[in-house]
Amino acid sequence: DAKTTQPTSMDCAEGRAANLPCNHSTISGNEYVYWYRQIHSQGPQYIIHGLKNNETNEMASLIITEDRKSSTLILPHATLRDTAVYYCIGTGTASKLTFGTGTRLQVTL
Amino acid sequence: GAGVSQTPSNKVTEKGKYVELRCDPISGHTALYWYRQSLGQGPEFLIYFQGTGAADDSGLPNDRFFAVRPEGSVSTLKIQRTERGDSAVYLCASSETGGQKDTQYFGPGTRLTVL
């Protein structure tokens, strides 16, 4: 699995876009980039995933650089309910997910 | 539809005791995973089932930990001779078929406390 690097913490004002970066410079050509988040005392929640192209769903957008060495998760209009730890994961050939310590996003009024 | 469910939500036991943790995956999902999450850390993989068989048990820390999935649906994680270091949240996830393109959906976890 690719090693991923994320900032330890970030703040975002409610209503603004939250842009969470992830570095995955060792990612191989067939590895997907997955994003999960974990709200306090809950199980991880799937957000979005992608391989090469940018992706968008009802929760977020995922922008992957052309060289695939990094990506950014965008929450377009952050709310207080988006306060959570966000994990960026590069999947390998194995089925298991390898979580790091993630980015703690704090959304404030 | 119903998501992944885990029981109990909390389990307190004494050092040396045996515990069983249960996971009910999403109906129809053939792949099932167990993870363990210690305070302040991300979840760590324990074991992955494809149907009834353990396809990857490389994350089980030692032989006190064992998991079964006899009918390819519900799974039980069993911990013998519990130690204080086993205290953690145990998470279960399931996915439709397994593999890196298949999204895993997590349950709420079981918080295990070993006194």
The reply to whether residue A99 touches residue B98, judged by beta carbons under 8 angstroms, is no
The predicted pLDDT at position B2 comes to 85
Q: Which residue of A has its CA nearest to B90?
A: A43
Interface of B with A (CB under 8 A): 4, 31, 33, 35, 40-45, 48, 55-56, 59, 91, 93, 95, 98-109
Percent helix, strand and coil across chain A, each rounded to 5? 5, 45, 50
Instruction: Give the residue from A1, A97, A101, A103 with the most B CB atoms within 10 Å of its CB, the best one to mutate.
Output: A97
Chain A environment of B35 (Cβ under 8 Å): 97, 99
- Whether the per-residue pLDDT at A93 is higher than 70: the answer is no
**pLDDT (mean) for A9-17:** 97
% of chain A exceeding 70 in pLDDT: 95
Cα distance between residue B57 and residue B50, in whole Å: 11
- Whether the per-residue pLDDT at B82 is higher than 90: the answer is yes
The reply to whether residue B99 touches residue A100, judged by beta carbons under 8 angstroms, is no
- Whether the per-residue pLDDT at B76 is higher than 90: the answer is yes
Taking Cα atoms as reference points, which of B108, B80, B79 lies closest to residue B92? B108
Q: What is the mean pLDDT of chain A?
A: 92
- Whether the per-residue pLDDT at B84 is higher than 80: the answer is yes
